[in-house]
Every structure is written in C-alpha cells, then in structure tokens.
Amino acid sequence: MSIIKDIALLISRVILGVILVAHGWDKFQNLDGVTAMFTQVGAPMPNLSALAAASIELGGGILLILGLLTPIAGVLVFLVMLGAAILVHLENGIMAADGGWELVGAIGVAALALAAAGSGTFGIDQIFRRSKSKDPKVAHTAEQ
C-alpha cells in the first residue's frame, strides 16, 4: 500500500474515531434519556439497544483510532448507524439540520469503507499481520 493511502486511512480512522468517541461518551452521560428516546422510536429492547449503541460508538471509536480490529469495529459502527437511520432519521429527509440521515449515513459508510480497507500500515492490526507473516508455518504455506 502506498504511503498516501496509509496516511489517508490513518487520518480517516482518527477523525471518525474521535467523532464516535464523542457521540458514545455523550450517550453514556445520558443513558436514561437515550433509552427513553429508543423506547419512543420503537427500538427493540430499548435498554439493551441504548447500551449497545453507546458501547459500540465509544468502543468502536477507540478501536478505529488504534487501528485495532478495524474490520469488526467498522461493520459494527455501520450497523448502529443503519439502525439509527432506519429508526430515527429516514423520515426526516437527508439534511441533518432537519433531523435527517446525512450524518449517520456519512459515519456509517465511512466506517464500512474502513472495514473493507483495513487499518493500513499505521494501525495495530498491521502489527499482528506482520507477526503472523513472520511465523515459519505461515511463511512456508505462502511459499507453496
């Protein structure tokens, strides 16, 4: 991968991760309010859904910043944003100022793109890939 792609992935992971950490932290600060809102919009198991959304946003953001388990974190964040779009934002149109889906859509597709692309060279995932490739069994299998 080129250095430009690696830098782009790093910047994307960190910026998206910071946004997610802020949103997840905010949800944890008002979990009762989030649960009430989830109840109002008809989310399944609103207590568990609110806790899951807050945890995935906060934890997923941290994982993306670190470049750790990037594909898993990206898919989980995408699914949370998809749920937010369907349950809350679609009926309000596109514009976020009107309560629309543009913010959750942008966050969701960015997370999905990172899930597909991986962390790049500057993520912890890359350290694990390097250590696996140094494993003689893996190297031997690759040679065959």
User: What is residue 25's predicted lDDT score, i.e. its pLDDT?
Assistant: 99
Provide the sign of the torsion angle of the four alpha carbons 43, 44, 50, 52, taken in this order.
negative
Number of Cβ within a 10 Å radius of residue 108: 21
The pLDDT value given to residue 64: 99
C-alpha 128/C-alpha 56 separation (Å) is: 23
- pLDDT number for residue 1: 62
pTM given for the model: 0.89
Q: What is the CA radius of gyration of the chain?
A: 18
Question: What pLDDT score was predicted for residue 137?
Answer: 57
Give the residue ranges of the chain where pLDDT is below 70.
1, 135-144
By residue range, what is the domain housing residue 75? 3-143
Q: Among 5, 87, 78, which residue's Cα sits nearest to residue 41? A: 87
The total number of structural domains in the chain stands at 1
pLDDT value at position 128? 86
φ/ψ of residue 27, rounded to 5? -65, -40
Using alpha carbons, select from 98, 26, 24 the residue that is nearest to residue 55.
Answer: 24
